Structure 1
Amino acid sequence: MKKRLIQGLFITCAGFSVNAFALGYTADFEACMRKAQSQSDSINTCQIKEYKAQNKRVKHLYKLTLKTTAENEQALVKQSQDVWLQRRDHACNIQNKKAKAFSISNSSCALQMTMSHADMMEVRLNNKNMK
């Protein structure tokens, strides 16, 4: 019995460390930025690639959030996500633009807002799952 409890705690701690690792930038982005040094085209390429990874993360977390939300609250989650997307697009001036067409300021803004949103969603999901 005691052995099972210890194994369960170990697995739980390992799961939390994996989730904590997912917060923030990917290791690929950090390596890309070191390689880019101060070349703006290379920096923009790194930012766009990371933006796509973070946007994919947001979509995944959004789906998980909908799965774990009561049916009567799902419309609110959808509305909240739509409002966030509109705010991000407006703030970063990326309406009707594909990521590959982003300028360095578009990609920097979109990356920061998207990563922050993904981090927030992940923390909320983890807190919800701990209850």
Structure 2
Amino acid sequence: MKPLIMTLLMCCAGISAQAYALSFSKDYEGCMRKAGSHSESIRTCQIKELKVQNKRLKKVYKLTAKTANPAEQALIKQSKAQWHQQRGNACQTAGKKIKAYNGFNSSCALQMTVSHADMMEVRLNNKIMK
């Protein structure tokens, strides 16, 4: 029952994230259009985009740490590690290499990463604007 609930929540989150997130790359949008309903092509697109989004998130974390005081930097490092662990647990990716992700793993990890990067960017921009 628990995996079913998690899957439903991830689907709902994915639909709402796709409706509002503007942070997917243009390459990803084109790749998904070409993939149509072919699941292996969709997975390939998701894995490529996940790599892009992982780089984006890493950059945002770096900029966030740069604008933080030393005490905040330690918290940022800790929260980053916790978030990666949460994503690994939720998406069942802990200990897996990206190329080994199945459709659920890649979709889940991509949605969580895009959402987290969006949130981190908003926080960073709000902090800079103050």
TM-score (norm 1): 0.81
Question: Which region of structure 1 is more displaced relative to structure 2, 75-84 or 105-114?
Answer: 75-84
Amino acid at match of 1:113: M
| Aligned sequence identity (%) | 65
- Residue equivalent to 2:73: 74
CA RMSD of aligned residues (A): 1.1
- Residue equivalent to 1:42: 41
1:61 Cα deviation from its structure 2 partner: 0.6
Any runs of at least 4 consecutive aligned residues in structure 1 with deviations exceeding 6 A, and if so which?
Answer: none
Structure 2 alignment gaps of length 5 or more: 1-20
1:130 Cα deviation from its structure 2 partner: 0.4
Q: Secondary structure at the match of 2:33?
A: helix
Q: Deviations over 1:46-99 (max 9, x none)?
A: 000001100110111111111000112111111111110000000000011111
Return closer, same or farther for 1:23/1:124 CA change in 2, 3 Å cut-off: farther
- Residue equivalent to 2:50: 51
Aligned residue pairs: how many?
110
Structure 2 counterparts to residues 23-34 of structure 1, below 5 A: 23-34=22-33
Q: Deviations over 1:21-40 (max 9, x none)?
A: x9421110000000000000
TM-score (norm 2): 0.82
- Residue equivalent to 1:94: 93
Q: Secondary structure at the match of 1:96?
A: coil
Distance in 2 separating the partners of 1:106 and 1:112: 10
